[in-house]
């Protein structure tokens, strides 16, 4: 048997509840918020967005033969002619057109019908329907969108509409209460609340956006909806969640409204959204990398690749340089730099603080506009290397060979050696794989197999050595500690 008890404190003349004693000794530091006024005043300016997109099938349905008994189990997933689902494009012949409908959220920023949402909510849609809280529906026109910023601007033919107030996301602090309004899973005008978990949070696929991280429960359908502060001002656009299940798991990310509205201003003028560009690929500095580059602590953004003829190349920046400041602002990690640069106009002149070979330096750099096609900027090939001999690097336990003309074209590199095989050893432990291209060792360029063999043979044992590796369309540094 389990007994349920209520605690009391004994005092002269009677008993006081424990809660009363605690309240009398210490006043509460914060009061619980009441979100009702925000929802009543600005909830009508939040809209639901439904889109219709036409897609084309690329597969022929079930992977099993027509007479296979497994088809009865998998038909609901793949579809089959004459079965449910086949009229939705699943199981139809390749080239069959079908329609996909999706839901999202948005908010009205002007009484004459301009609406802001996330670009992924409306991208590719042939039809966009906006529904207001008074159940009026409008067909929306897409004014413009930025896929990279994930912001879109819509226009509906209406006047005297309720609008939100735009706040200042630059004043947002960790711990502040925030409120999200949207249509999770199609449940219109749902309200959820939480606190700011972090600001200026970079994400790998969106380096130009300094996301607001919160614990506000948002789910599919919330995308594009507003994130309010306690003044009822929109300080973010709910954009994405970190999840393994497809649903909310405590990590939500919103686009800061200052960043989003800069894009909206350009979209309203039918301009392409501008992003400042340095022409580098960067990575974080680990403790091992810091040691290998003769640095006292692991800070800054390590340059792993410099685009030919880009702003960084013109300024004299090299792979292996570590950027520790930009325009007077400290750079503690690689995620900080892209949003700093992206917000600047083309032609902006800045001081770039770097560490090269363990020594501080300052370079002058001029920001340029991000090219529309980054692939063309790096698509340069050269004649095949005259060195055609394969070689084994016994100290690393790998086999390497010269770059073929095809590899040069696919990887957009002109120098380096191709890793053909990797056996157990220090290279495998560091993460080197077959198909990688070794570009530098100890900040020395590797032009052919014999150069690599000589470099590895000359390096001291049991000391961290930086190795620049090309994999796919990106370059990065790893650290090797060579055996004796």
pLDDT digits (tens, 9 = 90+) for 254-267: 999 999 999 999 99
* Euclidean distance between CA atoms 366 and 315, whole angstroms: 8
Domain of 40, CATH number, reads 2.40.10.120
Look-up: residue for tokens 């008890």? 5
Q: What is the 3-state secondary structure (H, E, C) of 393-429?
A: ECCCCEEEEECCHHHHHHHCCCCCEEEEEECCCHHHH
Tell me which residue of 396, 464, 484 sits closest to 436, measured CA to CA: 396
Give the CA count within 13 Å in the CB-facing half-sphere of 303: 25
Confidence (pLDDT) at 203: 84
Asked which of 223, 253, 273 is the last residue of a domain, the reply is: 273
Q: Is the entire prediction scored with pTM above 0.85? A: no
Looking at the fold, whether 368 and 388 belong to one and the same domain comes out as no
Q: What is the pLDDT of residues 264-299, one digit of tens each?
A: 999 999 888 889 999 999 999 999 999 888 888 999
Residue bearing the bigger pLDDT, 140 or 101: 140
Residue 332 lies in a domain: yes
Residues 6+ apart with CB under 8 A from 285: 293, 295, 298, 299, 300, 301, 302, 322, 333
Confidence of residue 5 (pLDDT cuts 50, 70, 90): very low
pLDDT bin (cut points 50, 70, 90) of residue 349 is: very high
Looking at the structure, tell me whether residues 252 and 212 fall in a common domain.
yes
Distance CA 398, CA 183 (A): 54
Domain co-membership, 257 together with 350: no
Asked if residue 381 lies in contact with residue 409, where contact means CB atoms within 8 angstroms, the answer is yes
Rounded Cα–Cα distance for residues 260 and 243 (Å): 24
Residue 26's pLDDT is 58
pLDDT over 60 (residue 88): no
Note whether residue 17 is domain-resident.
Answer: no
Is residue 305 a part of any domain in this protein?
Answer: yes
Query: Which residue among 86, 169, 223, 292 is the active-site one?
Result: 223
Out of 96, 120, 215, 284, the active site residue is 120
Q: Is residue 76 one of the residues assigned to a domain?
A: no
19/227 Cα distance (integer angstroms): 35
Report if residue 7 sits inside a domain. no
Q: Where among 332, 356, 376 does a domain terminate? A: 376
Residue 2 banded pLDDT, cuts 50, 70, 90: very low
The confidence band for 99, taking pLDDT boundaries of 50, 70 and 90, is low
Query: Mean pLDDT, to the nearest integer, of 162-188?
Result: 93
Q: Is 31 inside a domain boundary?
A: no
Are 448 and 370 contained in the same domain? Answer: no
Q: Which of 186-200, 201-215, 369-383, 444-458 has the lowest mean pLDDT?
A: 369-383
Known active-site residue 50: no
34 tagged catalytic: no
Q: Domain end: 334, 356, 376, which one? A: 376
Residue 382 pLDDT > 60:
no
Instruction: Give me the residue label for tokens 């993460």.
Output: 431
Q: Is the pLDDT confidence value at 81 over 70?
A: no
Distance CA 258, CA 166 (A): 9
The pLDDT, as a whole number, for residue 389 is 65
Three-state secondary structure call for residue 331: coil
Q: Are residues 223 and 309 in the same domain?
A: no
Q: What is the pLDDT of residue 214?
A: 96
Domain that holds residue 401: 381-481
Q: Do 202 and 243 fall into the same domain?
A: yes
Note the pLDDT of residue 473.
79
Choose among 181, 185, 205: nearest CA to 41.
181
H-only helix segments in 65-106: 71-78
Q: How many domains does the chain have?
A: 3
Catalytic residue among 62, 102, 105, 150: 150
Say whether pLDDT at 37 is over 70: yes
Q: Residue 111 — pLDDT band, cuts 50, 70, 90?
A: very high
Using 50, 70 and 90 to split pLDDT, how confident is the model at 52? confident
More confident: 54 or 440: 440
Partnered with residue 17 across adjacent β-strands are 8
Domain assignment of residue 64, yes or no: no
> Above 60 in pLDDT, residue 379?
no
Same-domain check for residues 385 and 309 = no
- For residues 393-402, give the mean pLDDT: 89
For the domain that residue 363 is a member of, what is the CATH number?
2.30.42.10
**In terms of domains, do 298 and 342 share one?**
yes
pLDDT of residue 174: 96
Please state the φ and ψ torsions of residue 45, each to the nearest 5 degrees: -90, 0
Active site residue 120: yes
Q: Is 260 left (phi over 0), alpha (psi -120 to 50) or beta?
A: alpha
175 with 234, same domain: the answer is: yes
Same domain, 123 and 252: yes
Q: Are residues 305 and 255 in the same domain?
A: no
Asked if residue 146 is part of any domain, the answer here is: yes
Element spanning 468, H or E: strand 464-471
Reply yes or no on whether the pLDDT at 104 is more than 80: yes
Same domain, 328 and 398: no
């Amino acid at each position: 048997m389990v007994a349920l008890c209520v605690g009391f404190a004994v005092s002269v003349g009677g008993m006081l509840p424990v809660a009363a004693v605690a309240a009398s000794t210490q006043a509460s530091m914060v009061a619980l918020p009441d979100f009702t006024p925000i929802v009543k005043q600005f909830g009508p300016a939040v809209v639901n967005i439904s889109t219709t997109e036409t897609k084309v099938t690329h597969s022929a349905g079930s992977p099993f033969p027509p007479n296979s008994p497994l088809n009865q189990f998998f038909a609901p997933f793949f579809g089959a002619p004459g079965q449910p689902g086949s009229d939705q494009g699943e199981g139809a012949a390749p080239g069959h057109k079908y329609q996909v409908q999706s839901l999202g959220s948005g908010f009205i920023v002007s009484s004459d019908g301009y609406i802001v949402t996330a670009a992924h909510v409306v991208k590719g849609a042939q039809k966009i329907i906006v529904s207001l809280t008074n159940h009026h529906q409008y067909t929306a026109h897409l004014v413009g969108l930025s896929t990279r910023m994930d912001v879109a601007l819509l226009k509906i033919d209406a006047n005297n509409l309720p609008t939100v107030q735009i706040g200042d996301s630059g004043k947002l602090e960790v711990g502040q209460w925030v409120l999200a309004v949207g249509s999770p899973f199609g449940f219109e005008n749902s309200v959820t609340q939480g606190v700011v978990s972090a600001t200026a949070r970079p994400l790998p696929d969106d380096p130009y956006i300094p996301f607001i991280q919160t614990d506000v429960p948002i789910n599919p359908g919330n995308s594009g909806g507003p994130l309010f502060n306690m003044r009822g001002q929109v300080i973010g656009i709910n954009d994405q969640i970190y999840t393994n299940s497809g649903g909310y798991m405590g990590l939500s990310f919103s686009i800061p409204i200052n960043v989003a509205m800069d894009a909206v201003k350009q979209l309203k003028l039918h301009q392409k959204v501008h992003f400042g560009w340095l022409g580098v690929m960067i990575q974080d500095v680990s403790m091992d990398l810091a040691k290998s580059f003769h640095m006292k602590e692991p800070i800054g953004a390590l340059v792993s690749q410099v685009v030919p003829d880009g702003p960084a190349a013109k300024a004299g920046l090299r792979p292996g340089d570590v950027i520790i400041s930009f325009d007077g602002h400290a750079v503690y990690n690689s995620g900080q730099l892209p949003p700093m640069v992206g917000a600047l106009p083309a032609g902006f002149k800045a001081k770039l603080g770097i560490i090269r070979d363990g020594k501080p330096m300052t370079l002058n750099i001029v920001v340029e506009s991000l090219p529309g096609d980054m692939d063309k900027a790096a698509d340069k090939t050269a004649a095949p290397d005259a060195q055609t001999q394969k070689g084994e690097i016994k100290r690393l336990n790998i086999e390497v060979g010269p770059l073929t003309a095809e590899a040069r074209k696919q990887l957009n590199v002109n120098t380096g050696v191709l890793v053909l095989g990797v056996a157990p050893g220090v290279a495998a432990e560091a993460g080197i794989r077959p198909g990688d291209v070794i570009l530098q060792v100890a900040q020395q360029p590797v032009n052919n197999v014999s150069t690599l063999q000589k470099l590895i043979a000359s390096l001291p044992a049991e000391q961290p050595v930086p190795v620049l590796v090309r994999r796919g369309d990106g370059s990065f540094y790893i650290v090797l500690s060579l055996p004796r």
